[in-house]
Amino acid sequence: MKKFILQLILISFISLSAILIIMSRANGNTDPFYVRFTTPKQQNMILGTSRAAQGLQPDIFEQILKKDINNFAFTIAHSPFGKVYFESVKRKHNKKADGLFIIAVDPWSISSWCSSPNDMNQFRENNLCLNKTRIVNMNPNVFYILDNLSGKYSDILFKTNPYMFLHKDGWLEISNIKMDSSSVANRVSSKIETYRYKHLPKTNFSSIRLQYLIKTINYLNDL
């Protein structure tokens, strides 16, 4: 019996070690969000949706402002202004020092995709990573991986996206995209159709989201 228990402990230890080793391999190729949950609490932050996540590059601001800055913007689905994003920003922010904040706002970030735009129980971000993962500064972030990559652990070892890479400063780099006039025109046309026919019909202005935008600004301004 004693030998069996020792063998069981050994097997459990080996299995746990293997899992932790796999998790430690997670990086900017794993998905478009994981790395933002692994960096330390931040003093200076970029907030918003995908326009900020992809379009505002921390390195450029650092060269001009001489300050390290972290991009903690996500997408119109994950980080519209509301309680979920507000609480996650508070968890990510380092309260011990004054900070610099860039907040990108677009119509989608203060609107809801539900029949009752101020019903927070229906908010689209409730079942996504910012709400599911409350620890935002652990590396490797076991909680993020278990909460958001269930059944996709092989992505950690084998997934490589040639078009997308999430840097440690939070900037989501999009590369290897054709930039000839025809390709650009097709992407713009496709994006317009997506927003016009998929997003716009279900989108309603939310006064609650606007209140949380103001609440976020006031929270950061009072620090």
Report pLDDT for 17: 47
Q: What is the pLDDT of residue 222?
A: 81
Percent of the chain with pLDDT over 90: 62
- Sort residue 48 into left (φ over 0), alpha (ψ -120 to 50) or beta: left
Look at residue 118 in the predicted model and tell me its pLDDT. Answer: 97
Q: What is the mean pLDDT of residues 108-116?
A: 95
129-178 pLDDT, tens digit per residue, is 999 999 999 999 999 998 888 666 666 766 667 789 999 999 999 988 88
pLDDT in the model for residue 42: 96
Q: Give Cβ neighbours of residue 24 (< 8 Å, ≥ 6 apart).
A: 140
Give the pLDDT confidence of 131-140 residue by residue, as tens digits.
999 999 999 9
- Average of per-residue pLDDT across 26-53: 94
- Look at residue 96 in the predicted model and tell me its pLDDT: 78
* pLDDT at site 20: 55
pLDDT at 218: 96
DSSP annotation of 42 reads B
